[in-house]
């Protein structure tokens, strides 16, 4: 059963401020069919109400002469407010024509004289003022998405907040996502892609409206809905996945993330983050359309991630982050020779203990902290290179990982230049590992940045090579010095049913590109010998050494090189 909700969420909200009961009642009569109305009886009350409803208020009708606080004071207050200045339109109600200019100066946009003109004159002025104001806002953030005609997120959040104010029932926040939409786009072309999106959004809208909800387009192929709590997501799924585009009929898989019975005390955006987290749990699993719920486990995970973020600053200050070094060996000579190392970060947390980078790095990648973290690692690594140089007269290159997020930083090249300069080392001694997936995400910009880095003398290693699926067709135009083979390929090649054919193919590629090949995750002598035989230059892995702390690494180096 679909429950009926009476509140019309499209109704605009108006605050009527007047000290006289009869005037308030007149306005109520004129406006009640078209608008939701709230009232205040003096300036002080008006200010409180405006703050309370600031996100949803479309207009304030303000009497000038009132006890306690006059209308002018209210205008003055908001004229001086940084956040709310000219955010909400005021129409002044006045019998005193001289105050018009002064009100205008203070930001009022129109007048209604007292005694009141005819009702339709008042309605028309109010309607026009709201429209003009919303047009202005619309220019700032388009209300509706051009392709799907759904609400843009900012408007959607406003309506959803509005809905909460008017309804005291449980609500669900939904993220709706077409699985692998980009593949449809590549396979059938963007025209069909657009058609799919239009048709899909129409289906979502029809379906969610039946459940008295509202819908928005969040981004490319991701939609949001806000609706009274329901258990009928199976039905909802089967309705919306069934879209009418010939080419893709029966091929669309839909994922829905539900944050059920939302906590209305948390910010509306955050509620959708939770729905998104639920939806993301389906990322690698779905074969048919599916629904996932934000539950206790995900909540705990969210709390844990929040703690990591909260603790970041202090960890950096107190040097809880430790840079470890894992040796890399050149195997092409008679005997393997240590030739370099990779800097890998560990977090020794005072209460949580050892935290692996596989856990905290994705968290920091989501919110930009990764940039500061990486800079810290780069700087510590540069110091280490310099220390080795000073102590042993040795130029020993070490590689650092460059997170995908950093590749969009316009200062990246300058930052590396200063790190290298400040620490007195050479550009070619700080090797940069950039993961393959960075290249496929926004290839042109990444290629420009990488070219820039190489022109400055930095050496680029493509990390996790072979883990993605689109780099093979671009490999010949990518600017790189080293191919670092994805660990999973090495693992597969040496598993029970595996063979080294893929690795041999990669060796062919590296020869034709004239670059160096590094294999990582190498754990046995047998693997070392096989890799050496097919032409792999450098090997990193537990066979030679685990990542070592600063002290142990130095001991290791001394022993290997007889220093
Ligand atoms: P990655 O860059 O592919 O690093 C290689 C990972 O494989 C490291 O895990 C390393 O300890 C592990 N490993 C090395 N040899 C073997 C082996 O023989 N067998 C097995 N099973 N594993 C081996 P770790 O240190 O846990 O790092 C995981 C990932 O976290 C790294 O993958 C990298 O993407 C990221 N990461 C680590 N440190 C940093 C950093 O300072 N900055 C950034 N941006 N990412 C980092
Ligand atoms: Ca790496
Ligand atoms: Ca890697």
Residue 545 alpha carbon to ligand 1 centre in Å: 13
Inform me whether the pLDDT recorded for 186 exceeds 50. yes
pLDDT digits (tens, 9 = 90+) for 156-172: 998 898 888 878 899 99
Pick from 312, 323, 328, 357 the residue to mutate for probing ligand 1's pocket: most ligand atoms within 8 Å of its CB.
Answer: 357
Strands 538-540 and 516-519 turn out to be: parallel
Alpha carbons 57 and 78: distance in angstroms, whole number: 14
Alpha carbons 47 and 66: distance in angstroms, whole number: 13
Q: Is the CB of 326 under 6 A from ligand 1?
A: yes
Q: Is the CB of 361 under 6 A from ligand 1?
A: yes
Q: Is the CB of 524 under 6 A from ligand 1?
A: no
Q: Which residue, by CA, sits nearest to atom 7 of ligand 1?
A: 521
Which residues, in sequence order, are CB contacts of 535 under 8 Å at separation 6+?
Answer: 507, 510, 511, 517
| Nearest bound ligand to the CA of residue 486 | 3
Which residues, in sequence order, are CB contacts of 235 under 8 Å at separation 6+?
Answer: none
Q: Let me know the angle formed at the C-alpha of 90 by 153 and 119, rounded to the nearest 5 degrees.
A: 105
pLDDT digits (tens, 9 = 90+) for 224-278: 999 999 999 999 999 998 888 888 888 888 999 999 999 999 999 999 999 999 9
Pick from 342, 373, 401, 531 the residue to mutate for probing ligand 1's pocket: most ligand atoms within 8 Å of its CB.
Answer: 401
What's the mean pLDDT in 55-65? 90
Residue 408 alpha carbon to ligand 1 centre in Å: 22
Q: Which residue, by CA, sits nearest to atom 13 of ligand 1?
A: 521
Alpha carbons 151 and 147: distance in angstroms, whole number: 11
Enter the pTM of the model: 0.68
Inform me whether the pLDDT recorded for 140 exceeds 70. no
Residue 401 alpha carbon to ligand 2 centre in Å: 5
- Cis bond upstream, residue 115 (ω within 30): yes
Q: Which atom of ligand 1 is nearest to the CA of 547?
A: 11
Q: Which residue, by CA, sits nearest to atom 27 of ligand 1?
A: 357
pLDDT digits (tens, 9 = 90+) for 491-536: 999 998 888 998 999 999 999 999 999 999 999 999 999 999 999 9
What's the mean pLDDT in 361-389? 96
- Return the pLDDT at 487: 95
pLDDT digits (tens, 9 = 90+) for 265-282: 999 999 999 999 999 999
Q: Is the CB of 93 under 6 A from ligand 1?
A: no
Inform me whether the pLDDT recorded for 187 exceeds 90. no
Q: Which residue, by CA, sits nearest to atom 44 of ligand 1?
A: 403
Residue 344 alpha carbon to ligand 1 centre in Å: 6
Q: Is the CB of 354 under 6 A from ligand 1?
A: no
**Token pair for residue 204?**
């979502």
Q: Is the CB of 520 under 6 A from ligand 1?
A: yes
pLDDT digits (tens, 9 = 90+) for 362-372: 999 988 899 99
User: Which of the two residues, 133 and 382, has the higher pLDDT score?
Assistant: 382
- Return the pLDDT at 6: 42
Residue 530 alpha carbon to ligand 2 centre in Å: 22
Q: Is the CB of 463 under 6 A from ligand 1?
A: yes
Residue 226 alpha carbon to ligand 2 centre in Å: 41
Q: Which residue, by CA, sits nearest to atom 19 of ligand 1?
A: 521
Structural domains in the chain plus CATH codes: 12-134 (3.40.50.2300), 144-294 (3.30.70.270), 314-557 (3.20.20.450)
Alpha carbons 548 and 563: distance in angstroms, whole number: 18
| Nearest bound ligand to the CA of residue 467 | 3
Alpha carbons 527 and 346: distance in angstroms, whole number: 27
- Return the pLDDT at 398: 98
Alpha carbons 301 and 304: distance in angstroms, whole number: 5
Residue 492 alpha carbon to ligand 3 centre in Å: 15
Strands 430-435 and 398-402 turn out to be: parallel
Q: Which residue, by CA, sits nearest to atom 43 of ligand 1?
A: 401
| Nearest bound ligand to the CA of residue 363 | 1
**Token pair for residue 251?**
């091929």
Q: Is the CB of 345 under 6 A from ligand 1?
A: yes
Residue 283 alpha carbon to ligand 2 centre in Å: 24
Q: Three-state DSSP class for 186?
A: helix
Which residues, in sequence order, are CB contacts of 43 under 8 Å at separation 6+?
Answer: 17, 66, 68, 69, 70, 71, 73, 74
| Nearest bound ligand to the CA of residue 328 | 1
Q: Which atom of ligand 1 is nearest to the CA of 324?
A: 25
Residue 543: CB atoms within 10 Å:
16
| Nearest bound ligand to the CA of residue 358 | 1
Long-range Cβ contacts of 531-535 (<8 Å, 24+ apart): 531/331, 531/490, 531/503, 532/331, 532/332, 534/500, 534/503, 534/504, 534/507, 535/507, 535/510, 535/511
Inform me whether the pLDDT recorded for 145 exceeds 80. no
**Token pair for residue 68?**
């306690």
Q: Is the CB of 548 under 6 A from ligand 1?
A: no
- Whether the CB-CB separation of 506 and 537 falls below 8 Å is answered with no
- Average predicted confidence (pLDDT) for the chain: 90
């Amino acid at each position: 059963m679909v429950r009926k909700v009476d509140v019309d969420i499209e109704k605009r909200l108006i605050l009527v401020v007047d000290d006289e009961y009869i005037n308030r009642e007149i306005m109520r009569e004129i406006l009640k069919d078209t608008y939701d109305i709230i009232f205040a009886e003096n300036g002080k009350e008006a200010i409180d109400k405006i703050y309370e409803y600031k996100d949803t208020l479309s207009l304030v009708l303000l009497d000038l002469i009132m006890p306690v606080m006059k209308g002018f004071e209210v205008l003055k207050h908001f004229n001086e407010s940084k956040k709310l200045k000219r955010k909400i339109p005021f129409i002044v109600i006045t019998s005193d024509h001289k105050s018009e200019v002064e009100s205008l100066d203070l930001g009022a946009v129109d007048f209604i004289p007292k005694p009141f003109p005819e009702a339709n004159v008042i309605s028309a002025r109010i309607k026009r003022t709201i429209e003009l104001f919303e047009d202005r806002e619309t220019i700032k953030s388009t209300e509706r998405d051009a392709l799907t005609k759904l609400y843009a997120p900012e408007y959607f959040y406003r309506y959803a907040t509005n809905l909460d104010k008017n309804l005291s029932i449980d609500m669900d926040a939904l993220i709706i996502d077409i699985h692998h939409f980009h593949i449809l786009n590549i396979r059938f072309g963007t025209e069909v892609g657009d058609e799919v999106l239009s048709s899909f959004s129409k289906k979502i809208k029809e379906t969610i409206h039946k459940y008295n909800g509202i819908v928005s387009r969040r981004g490319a192929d991701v939609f949001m809905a806000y609706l009274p709590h329901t258990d009928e997501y199976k039905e909802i799924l089967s309705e919306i996945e069934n879209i009418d585009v010939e080419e893709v009929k029966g091929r669309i898989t839909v994922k829905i993330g539900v944050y059920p019975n939302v906590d209305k005390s948390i910010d509306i955006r955050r509620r959708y983050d939770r729905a998104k987290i639920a939806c993301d749990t389906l990322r690698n699993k779905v074969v048919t359309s599916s629904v996932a719920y934000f539950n206790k486990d995900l909540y705990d995970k969210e709390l844990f991630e929040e703690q990591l973020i909260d603790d970041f600053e202090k960890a950096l200050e107190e040097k809880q982050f430790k840079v470890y070094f894992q040796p890399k060996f050149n195997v092409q000579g008679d005997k393997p020779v240590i030739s370099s190392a990779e800097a890998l970060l560990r977090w020794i947390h005072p209460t949580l203990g050892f935290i692996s980078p596989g856990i905290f790095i994705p968290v920091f990648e989501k919110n930009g902290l990764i940039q500061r973290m990486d800079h810290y690692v780069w700087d510590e690594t540069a110091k280490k290179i310099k220390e080795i140089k000073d102590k042993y007269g040795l130029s020993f290159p070490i590689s650092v990982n460059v997170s995908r997020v950093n590749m969009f930083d316009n200062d990246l090249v300058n930052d590396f230049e200063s790190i290298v300069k400040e620490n007195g080392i050479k550009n070619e001694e700080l090797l940069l590992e950039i993961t393959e997936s960075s290249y496929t995400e926004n290839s042109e910009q990444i290629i420009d940045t990488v070219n820039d880095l190489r022109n400055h003398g930095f050496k680029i290693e493509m990390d996790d090579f072979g883990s993605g699926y689109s780099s093979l067709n671009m490999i010949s135009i990518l600017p790189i010095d080293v191919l670092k083979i994805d660990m999973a390929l090495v693992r597969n090649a040496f598993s029970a049913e595996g063979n080294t054919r893929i690795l041999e193919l990669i060796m062919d590629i590296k020869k034709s590109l004239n670059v160096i090949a590094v294999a990582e995750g190498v754990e046995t002598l047998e693997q070392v010998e096989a890799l050496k035989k097919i032409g792999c230059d450098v090997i990193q892995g537990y066979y030679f050494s685990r990542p070592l702390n600063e002290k142990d690494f130095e001991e290791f180096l001394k022993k290997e090189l007889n220093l």
